[in-house]
Structure 1
Amino acid sequence: MRKIILVLISTLILSACAQTASREQVAQTLRDNPQIVFDALKRDKSQLMDILDQAVAEREDLERKNAQLRALADPLTPELQPGRIFLGAAGAPVTIVEYSDFQCGYCAQGQATMQELLRRHPGQVRVFFKHFPARPGSLEPAVVFEALALQKPEAAWRFAELAFANQRALADGSGRGLAALIASLDAGFKIDSARLKKDMESPAVRTRIEADVAEARRFGVEGTPTYLVNGVPVRGAAPLEEFEDLLGLLGRKDQVQAAKP
């Protein structure tokens, strides 16, 4: 009997988190049978904790989806300057703007997620890389990336991959790690070193990075990575499944709009 009631309580908890049952129902069940909870804790703490963890996870997932729906109604609009490089197809229906930091480990994870998303959805997604250099040693590689982008965009993207893969070398403070990464690009891309140095010192590059930071702060970005997927924020190194869910939501929204007379 107690096992049945415990299952009932678990179901009510999960249902309440999904907003299909009132909290009063759960509260009343617990008031009528308080000993059930104590017995369950004594006999199988791990099972009850698993139930509670699942309930919390489902509630968080529901809250995240509701937040996305609200953001879809009033999406953020980042500036996409002409000439700014991106990955993916120019006419892709989904634009992802990433605010990132070359010294952020979670940003390195996020970059791998973006690559997989592009691989899974050819022609459907494009990714713009913007800067939020908040950690020591992260401004310099941001400057190099933008300077390389002015000369050879493919070299800039390769540099980003190397920078994320060699964060410890970039963090030594001497500049030797950064110089080594730049030198490693020369064999494959024939970098014009004189032009690179000039572009790294140009006000235009610094202004672009400062504009990225100002825009990110205006949008409430407090940490990296942060993404705007067609203006809908995704904060942190979210799993690929979260981006896939959001792409599905965006697709359904487009279908609804297309069906309107």
Structure 2
Amino acid sequence: MLKTLKTSLVVLAGAAMLLSACKKDGEGANAGTTPNAGAAAASENPNQPVAKYNDTTITLKDVDAKIAAQLRQLDKQKFELRSQTAEQMVLEALVKAEAAKAGKTDEEWVKAQLDDKLPKPTDEEINKVFEENKARMPPGATVESMREQIIGFLQKDKGREVAMALFNDLKTKANYKMLYEAPEEPRVQVAAIGPSRGPADAKVTIVEFSDFECPFCGRGEEAVTQVMEKYAGKVRVVFRHFPLSFHANAPKAAEASMCADEQGKFWEMHKVLFANRTALTVEDLKKHAGSIGLDQAKFDSCLDTGAKKSLVDADTKAGGEVGVTGTPAFFINGKLLSGAQPFSEFEKIIDAELKKGG
């Protein structure tokens, strides 16, 4: 559970930036110490010499063109850091005022609010967490032996939700408004190649780079489902693969989905794989194929021979070329939306795109 005001604020402020995507170790870790890339780009001469060899000079413009995607990401991280810090400052001031009214310290007031509203995990919730994570449990572990740890996990997760609701209420009452605007997201040319849902002539095309073993990708699919429901006939979603190197089973799972696609059942396999993120060994994948009614012999041959590996590799290469460093990553008519963002973030971009298209 969230024990102090500082912990609560840090968790909430950092959640969107740090806990919304699967990334390689160290990815984004230097955001706080990186020079102001956006300001530097605006104030420096693009023709400024950076390096020279023989009779050739490399300019700042040459360098920036090579790392354009990374520079855009740095600008976005700078915006997130500033806006989240500003929000944290507002919350600290609002909490301090409420605590003073109640005659408590800031930490005492927040703890009292959370303790009062934090629900006790049910047996059903505890059993569900145990079953979903059984493969990671110590040998011989039972629900009872892991009960306290699971309760702690669930309370921490629910505590975050309760704290978010509390702080949102404080902001609403104080007429909170974020005035700092995000940098304009440039459009990136991304080939819409791969399994898709929605009409080919849709006004909005979303190209998604994802990883079946990434927990955040599973969460991202919830928003995508909402998108397809609200914008039926107006949005097309194209799925491309970006299995991360530290997810051992992700590459083969990606191949399995394409083997299923060969039999016309990509989306059925897609659903099963995300629902069974911790069961993606080759043996598991073959069982999943059977569960959705695929021709087992044909699927097994496709998977065992690596027939779809080149397709997965091509997707991964394409993702890297347009600046994808973690999953999920969505390009909405070429505009990047990184991480498992809430449906509201998709709405903002999609509505703006539909408005432009008439």
Q: TM-score range, shorter-chain basis?
A: 0.5 to 0.7
Per-residue CA deviation, residues 193-232 of structure 1 (Å, 9 max, x unaligned), is 3332343356662111111111111121111101000000
Distance 1:176 1:251, change over 3 A: same
Q: Which residue is equivalent to 1:180? A: 287
SS in 2 for 1:96: strand
- Of 127, 133, 138, which residue of structure 1 is paired with 2:250? 138
- Per the alignment, residue 100 of structure 2 pairs with 43
Amino acid at match of 1:109: R
Partner SS state of residue 189, structure 2: coil
**More displaced 10-residue stretch of structure 1: 136-145 or 194-203:** 194-203
Matched AA of 1:235? S
Distance 1:94 1:202, change over 3 A: farther
Q: Secondary structure at the match of 1:92?
A: coil
In the alignment, structure 1 residue 92 sits paired with structure 2 residue 195? no
Are the equivalent residues in 2 in contact too, given 1:97–1:129 (CA < 8 A)?
yes
CA distance in 2, matches of 1:252, 1:91: 16
Report SS of the residue matched to 1:208: helix
Across the aligned residues of Structure 1 and Structure 2, the Cα RMSD in angstroms comes to 2.9
Distance change (3 Å), C-alpha of 1:92 and 1:178: same
- Is 2:178 the partner of 1:58? yes
Cα distance between partner residues in 2 of 1:129 and 1:183: 22
Q: 1:103 deviation in Å?
A: 0.6
| Pair 1:129-2:239 in alignment | yes
Unaligned runs of 5+ in 2: 1-92, 111-166
Whole-angstrom distance in 2 between the partners of 1:243 and 1:42: 36
What do the CA deviations read for 1:2-55 (whole angstroms, capped 9, x no partner)?
A: xxxxxxxxxxxxxxxxxxxxxxxxxxxxxxxxxx99x959726479x856xx99
Deviation sequence 1:98-149 (CA, Å, 0-9, x none): 1000011111111121122111111101111111111121111100111111
Aligned-partner SS, 1:79: coil
TM-superposition CA deviations, 1:79-109 (whole Å, max 9, x none)? 234xx32111122111101100001111111
**Residue of structure 2 in register with 1:213 after alignment:** 316
**Higher-helix-fraction structure:** 1
User: Offset at 1:185?
Assistant: 1.3
1:147 corresponds to 2:259: yes
Distance 1:67 1:101 in 2: 27
Q: Percent identity?
A: 26
User: Who is 2:271 aligned against?
Assistant: 161
Cα distance in 1 between the residues matched to 2:295 and 2:99: 70
Residues 183 and 121 (structure 1), Cα distance of their counterparts in 2 relative to 1, 3 Å cut: same
- Pair 252,141 (structure 1): closer, same or farther in 2 beyond 3 Å: same
The answer for the alignment partner of 1:119 in structure 2 is: 229
Q: State how far apart, in whole Å, the 2-side matches of 1:86 and 1:41 are.
A: 50
- CA–CA distance in 2 between the matches of 1:78 and 1:90? 15
Distance 1:95 1:247 in 2: 9
Shift in CA distance, 253/42, structure 1 to aligned 2, threshold 3 Å: same
Which one-letter code corresponds to 2:235 in the other structure?
Answer: V
1:253 aligned partner:
356
CA contact (8 A) 2:195 2:266 kept: no
The 8 Å contact of residues 91 and 123 in structure 1, kept in 2 or not, is answered as: no
Could you tell me how far 1:157 is from its partner in structure 2?
Answer: 0.6
Q: How many residues align?
A: 197
Amino acid at match of 2:100: R
TM-score normalized with structure 1 length? 0.66
Q: CA deviation at 1:252?
A: 2.7
Query: What TM-score, normalized to structure 2?
Result: 0.49
Give matches, 1:180-199, under 5 Å.
180-186=287-293, 191-199=294-302
**Residue 167 of structure 1 aligns to a residue in which SS?**
coil
- Alignment match, 1:67: 184
